[in-house]
Amino acid sequence: MKNDKILLDHGSGGKATHSLVSDLFLPAFENPILAELNDSAILDTETKRLALSTDTYVVDPLFFPGGNIGDLAINGTVNDLAMCGATPLYLSVGMIIEEGFSMAELQRILEAMKAAADKAHVLVVTGDTKVVPRGTADKVFINTSGIGFIPEGIDISGHNAHRGDKVILSGTIADHGITVLTQREGMTFQSQIQSDTAPLNHMVREMMGKSGQIHALRDPTRGGVGTSLNEIATQSGVGIKIYEDAIPIQEQVSGICELLGFDPLYIANEGKLLAFVGTDAADKILETMRANEYGMDAAIIGEVVSDSPGKVFMRTRIGGTRIVDMLTGEQLPRIC
C-alpha cells in the first residue's frame, strides 16, 4: 500500500477509491457475491420471511480490550438479527473515515470484521466508503446492516413475553460499557476486564433447537439490562420481577460501578441476551446456554408477573423492592 494514511482522494470514487477497495476491502471480506462488484449484491434465498436490521458504530476509543469497532459492528448486527430468531446471512458495511486516519488501523479493523463475520458464519456482500475532511468526523464510523432468514414456525418477539415466563440472562452484565469507560478515563491500572462483544447467533440456534418455548429475546446493549427489560414489559404489556442477587456481574465490574456511581443495570453489553421462556422449558434452555462459550454464566434472574403491566421491579439484595425504570439521559456517550 502506497499511503499509510487515508486521503480525501480515497473517498473520491475514482482511482484511489478503487485501489482502496481492491487492496483492502475485497481481500478482507473475500466472497463471490461481493466480488461481483455490481451496484447491489444479488442474493438467492429460499425463504419467505427475512429479518433486516441496521446499526451504526461510533465507539470511542476504536480499540479496547476484547475487541474494536470492527468486530463490535459485525457482532451487533448479527445479534440484532438473532434476537428475532433469524439466522443471519448477509451484511453490508458502510464506513465514514476521517481524512488522515491510519491505514494500518483500518487494516486491523477490517481484520477484526472478517474474523467476526467468519465466526458468525455471515458474509459481507456489499459496502460503501466515504472519506470526510479532517475534523468533520472522529477517525471512523461504521454502519452495518444485515439480513437473515427466519425459519418456519418461529415467532420470537418483544411482544410475546407471557405471564409466568422465566427471564434468563446469558452472563455477566456491564462488561462492555465499563471496559470502554475505563479505557477512556485512563483507568486501565486495575483492569482485567474486557468487552464481551460476541456473536450470539449460534447460541440462539441451539436454544431454539432445544425448545419451541422461547417467546422473546433481546440483547441488552445501550441502556443495559434495565432498559431492555422495560422495553419488553411495555411491548408485551406485562410486569417483570427480577432478583438482584441472581444477576451475574464480575466483582471488578461491580467495584468500578460502585466507585464511579454507575448502576450496572444501565450499562451496555455487547455479547449478552435476555430470554423470556416458558417455565417448563427454562431449565432445559438454561442448560443449553451454559454449554455454549457465550452462555457459561447464564442464570434465571426473574419472571414475568401478572401485576403492574409495563413495570419492572427488583427484589434487592437487602430484601427491599424497587422499581427499575428505563435509562433516562445519556449516561455514556459513544459506548458502541
Q: Which residue has the cell 448502576?
A: 263
Site string for Mg ion, 137-156 (x = CB under 5 A): --------------------
98 binds Mg ion (CB under 5 A): no
Q: How far is the CB of 55 from Mg ion (least distance, A)?
A: 8
* Closer residue to Mg ion in complex, CB, 34/203: 203
**Does the footprint of Mg ion cover residue 55 (CB under 5 A)?**
no
Say how far apart CA 11 and CA 17 lie, in whole Å.
Answer: 6
Distances (CA, A) of 192 to 62, 176, 195: 18, 12, 10
The answer to whether 219 contacts Mg ion (rule: CB under 5 A) is yes
Which residue has 468486530 as its cell numbers? 71
**Choices 36-44, 58-66, 72-80, 99-107; region in contact with Mg ion by CB under 5 A:** 72-80
* Span from 80-88, 278-286, 288-296, 320-328 in contact with Mg ion (CB under 5 A): 80-88
When binding is defined by CB under 5 A, the residue of 25, 67, 80, 178 that contacts Mg ion is 80
Q: What is the rounded distance in angstroms from the CA atom of residue 30 to the CA atom of residue 40?
A: 16
Q: Which stretch binds Mg ion (CB under 5 A): 78-86, 124-132, 280-288, 310-318?
A: 78-86
User: Residue 328 Cβ, how far from Mg ion at the closest point, in Å?
Assistant: 19
**According to the binding rule CB under 5 A, does residue 270 interact with Mg ion?**
no
Q: Which is nearer to Mg ion, 175 or 219 (CB)?
A: 219
Nearer Cβ to Mg ion (273/281): 273
Min dist CB 83 to Mg ion, Å, is: 6
Residues that bind Mg ion (CB under 5 A): 80, 219
